[in-house]
Amino acid sequence: SQQGEEDPQALSIQEGENATMNCSYKTSINNLQWYRQNSGRGLVHLILIRSNEREKHSGRLRVTLDTSKKSSSLLITASRAADTASYFCATDASGGSYIPTFGRGTSLIVHP
């Protein structure tokens, strides 16, 4: 069963706009990761945020984590057509597990 659930399932925006995706999970975690998947390709790791961190940045990506609400958000600023992809969150449960549980993903379309 999926631990992480992304919201929305699909998002369509114009180039230059910001895109925000959310992930909710159910149990205590060590860390949460975000991945991108382009159509027909494997997943690519974007960013990892640990349970004791609240915010992390990487280029145009900003990830927040609220462990009290068991939720995370991924913000892509100034989106580009090349950002069109599916985005997945994955969580490692507390206790040193390296077996991540993936959500169903958010499909992002950025129109040029």
The residues of the shown chain that bind another protein, judged by CB under 8 A, are 1-2, 31, 33, 35, 40-45, 48, 88, 90, 98-105
Position 8, amino acid:
P
Tell whether the torsion through CA atoms of 57, 46, 108 and 79 is positive or negative.
positive
State the nearest-atom distance from the C-beta of 71 to another protein, in Å.
Answer: 17
Angle at 7 between CA 23 and CA 5, to 5 degrees: 50
Cα–Cα distance for residue pair 109/97, rounded to 1 Å: 33
* Alpha-carbon distances of 21 from 56, 76, 87, rounded to whole Å: 15, 9, 8
State the nearest-atom distance from the C-beta of 33 to another protein, in Å.
Answer: 7
State the nearest-atom distance from the C-beta of 104 to another protein, in Å.
Answer: 4
By beta-carbon proximity to another protein, the closer residue of 31 and 71 is 31
By beta-carbon proximity to another protein, the closer residue of 79 and 105 is 105
State the nearest-atom distance from the C-beta of 14 to another protein, in Å.
Answer: 26
By beta-carbon proximity to another protein, the closer residue of 50 and 80 is 50
